[in-house]
Structure 1
Amino acid sequence: MTMFTGGCLCGRIRFVAEGEPDFPHTCSCCQCQRHSGGLTLCWVEFAKAAVSWVGEDGVPALYRSSPVSSRAFCVTCGSSLGAIDDGPTVALLLGCFDDKGAPGLRPASHSFEDSRPAWWKVDACG
């Protein structure tokens, strides 16, 4: 079984995600922009049951960002880690992975292109 590891800037929040990632994509929606301060985020989703929080601080802190999801972050260093949905999905930010170039993590699509400035070009599929 494939295993991916990662964590926050200070290392107090760590994760292990097992199995095949789902829906690796970039997103430029307004919520992602506010969440990160960046124009685009890179996401990859896993089944909630496939993600274990293994760092000394355990599960990340959550901020309720929509009726169906909460943004996950480290209270010590402030790093954004992703989003934990009410449903069966955890979406992790690609920048948090130890091996960002691992097979299966490369974004294959771009969501909310119309929310990015016209000069910001993302070639997620090329």
Structure 2
Amino acid sequence: MPDTHTHIGGCLCGHIRFSATGPALKPHTCSCKMCQRHSGALTTAWVEFPADAVTWTGPGGAPSTYRSSDYSSRAFCPICGSTLGAIDDDPVIALLLGIFDDTSPADLVPTSHSYRAGRPKWWQVSVKGRAP
């Protein structure tokens, strides 16, 4: 059985904070147009948790959301605008790795890359030491 960690993190201003009990699921990077527009980055790094494993602990409670597709809503802080992740209709919360206080645990290391063709050809993405 994979290691179970408690991961914590939050937005830029601290209004939205979370605690997620692992193991983290499906750590990956993504270069789809929706992720690019949501984050402003060419590639995002994500990790999923069952919804019941994530607790919103900051003074703001749960993040604000924007319905971005027929199965998911993008999550963000209503105060500072920080992108936090996605809350899916399935009981899954996908969090962006950049919002974690500590990104070094092994269960957060991306193991795959989605929508590789969505990135500009000059953008190089390496997953677990493999070249694109």
TM-score bracket for this pair, using the shorter chain length: over 0.9
Aligned amino acid, residue 85 of structure 1: D
Runs of 4+ in 1 over 6 A off after TM superposition: none
User: For the residues of structure 2 that align with 1:2 and 1:118, how far apart are their CA atoms?
Assistant: 36
Q: CA deviation at 1:125?
A: 2.4
Q: Does 1:42 align with 2:50?
A: no
Q: Secondary structure at the match of 1:16?
A: strand
Counterpart for residue 112 of structure 2: 109
Residues paired across the two proteins, number: 126
Give the percent of matched residue pairs that are identical in Structure 1 and Structure 2: 59
How large is the RMSD of aligned CA atoms in angstroms?
Answer: 0.7
Q: Secondary structure at the match of 2:95?
A: strand
TM-score (norm 1): 0.98
Query: In the alignment, which of 63, 66, 91 is matched to residue 63 of structure 1?
Result: 66
Aligned amino acid, residue 104 of structure 2: G
User: For the residues of structure 2 that align with 1:28 and 1:101, how far apart are their CA atoms?
Assistant: 22
Q: What are the ranges of 5 or more consecutive residues in structure 2 without an aligned counterpart?
A: none
Counterpart for residue 7 of structure 1: 10
TM-score (norm 2): 0.94
Q: What are the ranges of 5 or more consecutive residues in structure 1 without an aligned counterpart?
A: none
User: For the residues of structure 2 that align with 1:49 and 1:123, how far apart are their CA atoms?
Assistant: 31
Aligned amino acid, residue 89 of structure 1: V
